[in-house]
């Protein structure tokens, strides 16, 4: 018969190898339970603790497999064994079980549990350093990085916290190299990629860690981790740096998902990858059309599945694709089908998600009352499972719905409730976003002091969590308040501050957006002022117009450099050309102004954007008028008015009519 000590070691090795594979958790559970029992009989507490840690992880995986919201059994075992080793005064075993408990806590819905997971992992790391165990210290380091990233996931990301996560992830990657553990190194490189993204590092710098991780997992033959990292890179690229890269990463993850689904069905590989691929295709040159086509093809496979989760995911993805394609009624039907399946499964987390999707569909339909009702349905489910953050997020969406409906009082009331929920779940960034939206509600009520106060309070919160992106947003909101009060100099200052932050973050699209606002504010600043000497006012106007020109040229240069796959690229070029035309016209530069407006019109025609074409013709009329070419201005204004009438665009009709009126001879007083 095999020696019990040797048998226990063999079982533990088998369990540790199995737990690294996504589909071998039952084998790991059986082997680790028997190993822990044998080690306990032999009085080998350290190996007992190690095996028990694997048992906890296997129980946790088992709960995930059954779509349970949380693994009660895994948590109870971890707490029980931690207490046993604490009572025995065994620091090494205590630290090992702290890591096991951290692994369970970091998957909890509430931030407090994830913060506890981070502290448990840090405590364990300190103990292992004290005891001189490098390998165990490395495991605790990885756990601390995971927990910190999970807090960022739940809180929407805190750059300050992300930098701490990056420190642990980088340290873990180095330790993995030293120990010859490429699996650990690859996981830490992935965590470092996530931390860099949350830390507001430019995507092109963060992506190198993701690519290194993918290459290591590919070499190790771990496709499910390769899939996870590729999908994460695609999703982050969609949000941070839309380009062909995000489509390539999404296509690679989708191809791996199809292989995994064939080998390990009922895990939702294809559904997850398909959702990412649809989002990625939207940034392509024919984004909307391609995204819908890809979604419909993939969804048919999911709907044909015998697995309820896959069917529900398929309906959910189809709902999103149909909404993109402006097929709102069909989108609603698909979302309701998905919700029915999740209700039958008792899958509360996805029930919340689908209620929120239905809310967005109703909002797109213009039915804000039913949209708000759907958000409250999501809140009811969130309350059932104690998900305070999703409660807060839905209240935050309700705030925006009320603002869209110009219901400022209701928006402020919902905002106060949302802030209380965000404070309860310790999400300061979420609180700050609500405050910005409440600022918009105050603006709608012409309460400009209150609006500015709300924006300033939000900015203080964003500074406390060191979120440069959110600080930039708060500067933009402040600029809007200043514009409402015609304080254009301050508006330019605030928008310039926002632009500078986006420039440093490498956020080219957002930087271009702020340059457009800078140019617009300078054009408003160039308006004539009464009670000012003509000479002084002319100098002031020229300075403002030259500043508008500089902002337009800088913004247009950025827009031209944007990836051609990005739909907004050509829209930005048109917008900057039109502002350039206005600026040149006000400066009396007819040739330059007409050239800019004609380029905008030509691009609008290519894009079949009749509204932009109409506006471009009106701007051409404005340039002609400023440069003393009244007959030409009149003809262009008439052309613009006729097109606006055909399009039934009332604001454009009013703009063209005002230009026409200015071309008419003025009667003597």
Q: What is the pLDDT of residues 526-583, one digit of tens each?
A: 887 766 667 777 888 889 999 999 999 999 999 888 776 566 778 888 999 999 999 9
pLDDT of residue 73: 85
The count of C-alpha atoms lying within 13 angstroms of the C-alpha of 278, restricted to the half-sphere facing its C-beta, is 25
**Which segments of 385-425 does DSSP mark as H helices, in order?**
388-404, 408-424
Q: Which CATH architecture has domain 387-494?
A: Alpha Horseshoe (1.25)
For residue 565, the 8-state DSSP code is T
Structure tokens at 129: 């350093």
pLDDT number for residue 669: 41
Residue 629 is given by DSSP the state -
pLDDT, averaged across the chain? 88
**Residue pair 312/350 in contact by the 8 Å Cβ criterion:** yes
C-alpha 110, offset from chain centre: 19
CB-based contact 245:237 (threshold 8 Å)? yes
Q: Which residue has the tokens 């199809």?
A: 258
Angle between helices 448-464 and 468-484 (to 10 degrees): 170
* Alpha carbons 87 and 94: distance in angstroms, whole number: 9
Q: Quick one: residue 132, left, alpha or beta (phi over 0 = left, psi -120 to 50 = alpha)? A: left
- Give pLDDT, residue 652: 92
As a whole number of angstroms, the distance between CA 391 and CA 383 comes to: 7
Tokens (6 digits) for 591: 């040739």
pLDDT of residue 284: 60
What confidence tier does 505 reach under pLDDT thresholds 50, 70, 90?
confident
Distance CA 336, CA 460 (A): 41
Global pTM value: 0.75
Tens of pLDDT, residue by residue over 166-177, are 999 999 999 999
Q: What is the pLDDT of residue 578?
A: 93
What span, in angstroms and rounded, lies between the C-alpha atoms of 232 and 237? Answer: 8
Confidence of residue 667 (pLDDT cuts 50, 70, 90): very low
Mean pLDDT of 231-239: 82
**In sequence order, what are the residues at sequence separation of 6 or more whose Cβ sits closer than 8 angstroms to the Cβ of residue 134?**
128, 175, 178, 179
- Please, are residues 45 and 8 in contact by the beta-carbon 8 Å criterion? no
Question: Of 389, 375, 320, 424, which is closest to residue 157 (Cα–Cα)?
Answer: 389
CA distance 154 to 134: 30
Alpha carbon distance 17, 72 (integer Å): 24
Integer-rounded Cα radius of gyration of the chain: 29
Q: Which helix (H) or strand (E) is 166 found in, with range?
A: helix 159-179
């Amino acid at each position: 018969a095999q020696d019990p000590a040797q048998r226990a070691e063999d079982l533990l090795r088998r369990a540790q190898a199995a737990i690294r594979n996504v589909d071998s958790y039952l084998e790991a559970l059986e082997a680790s339970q028997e190993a822990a029992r044998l080690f306990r009989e032999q009085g080998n507490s350290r190996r007992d603790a190690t095996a028990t840690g694997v048992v906890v992880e296997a129980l946790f995986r088992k709960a995930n497999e059954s779509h349970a919201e949380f693994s009660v059994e895994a948590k109870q075992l971890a707490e029980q064994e931690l207490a046993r080793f604490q009572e025995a005064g065994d620091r090494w075993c205590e630290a090992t079980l702290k890591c096991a408990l951290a692994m369970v806590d970091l998957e909890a819905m509430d931030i407090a549990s994830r913060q506890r997971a981070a502290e448990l992992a840090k405590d364990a790391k300190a103990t292992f350093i004290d005891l001189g165990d490098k390998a165990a210290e490395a495991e605790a380091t990885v756990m601390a990085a995971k927990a910190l990233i999970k807090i960022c996931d739940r809180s929407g990301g805190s750059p300050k916290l992300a930098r701490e996560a990056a420190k642990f992830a980088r340290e873990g990657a180095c330790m993995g190299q030293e120990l010859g553990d490429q699996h650990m190194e690859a996981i830490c490189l992935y965590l470092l990629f996530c931390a860099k993204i949350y830390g507001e590092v430019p995507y092109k710098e963060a992506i190198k860690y993701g690519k290194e991780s993918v290459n290591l997992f590919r070499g190790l033959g771990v496709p499910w981790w390769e899939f996870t990292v590729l999908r994460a890179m695609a999703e982050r690229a969609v949000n941070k740096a839309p380009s062909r890269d995000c489509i390539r990463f999404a296509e690679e993850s989708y191809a791996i998902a199809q292989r995994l689904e064939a080998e390990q069905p009922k895990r939702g590989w294809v559904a997850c990858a398909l959702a990412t691929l649809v989002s990625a295709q939207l940034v392509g040159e024919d984004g909307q059309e391609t995204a819908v086509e890809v979604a419909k093809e993939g969804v048919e496979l999911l709907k044909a599945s015998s697995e309820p989760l896959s069917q529900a995911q398929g309906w959910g993805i189809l709902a999103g694709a149909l909404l993109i394609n402006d097929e709102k009624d069909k989108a609603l039907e698909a979302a309701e089908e998905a919700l029915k399946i999740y209700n039958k499964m008792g899958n509360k987390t996805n029930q919340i998600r689908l209620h929120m999707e239905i809310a967005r569909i109703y909002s797109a339909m213009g039915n804000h009352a039913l949209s708000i009702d759907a958000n409250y349905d999501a809140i009811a489910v969130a309350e059932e499972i104690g998900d305070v953050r999703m409660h807060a997020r839905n209240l935050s969406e309700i705030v925006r719905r009320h603002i869209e409906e110009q219901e400022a009082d209701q928006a402020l009331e919902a905002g106060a409730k949302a802030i209380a929920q965000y404070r309860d779940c310790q999400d300061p960034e979420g609180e700050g976003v609500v405050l910005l939206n409440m600022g918009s509600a105050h603006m709608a009520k012409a309460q400009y002091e209150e609006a500015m106060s709300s924006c300033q309070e939000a900015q203080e919160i964003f500074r406390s969590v060191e979120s440069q992106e959110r600080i930039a947003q708060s500067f933009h909101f402040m600029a809007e308040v200043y514009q409402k009060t015609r304080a254009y100099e301050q508006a330019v200052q605030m928008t310039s501050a926002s632009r500078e932050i986006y420039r440093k973050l490498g956020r080219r699209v957002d930087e271009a957006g702020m340059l457009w606002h800078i140019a617009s504010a300078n054009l408003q600043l160039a308006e004539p002022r009464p009670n000012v000497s003509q000479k002084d006012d002319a100098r002031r106007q020229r300075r403002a117009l030259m500043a508008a020109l500089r902002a337009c040229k800088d913004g247009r240069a950025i827009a031209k450099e944007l990836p051609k796959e990005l739909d907004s690229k050509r829209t930005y070029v048109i917008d900057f050309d039109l502002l350039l035309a206005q600026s040149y016209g006000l400066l009396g530069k007819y040739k330059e102004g007409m050239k800019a407006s004609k380029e905008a019109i030509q691009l609008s025609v290519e894009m079949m954007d009749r509204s932009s074409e109409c506006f471009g013709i009106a701007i051409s009329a404005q340039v002609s008028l400023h440069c003393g070419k009244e007959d030409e201005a009149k003809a262009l204004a008439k052309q613009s008015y006729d097109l606006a009438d055909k399009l039934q665009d009332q604001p454009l009709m009013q703009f063209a009519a005002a230009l026409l009126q200015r071309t008419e001879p003025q009667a003597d007083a």
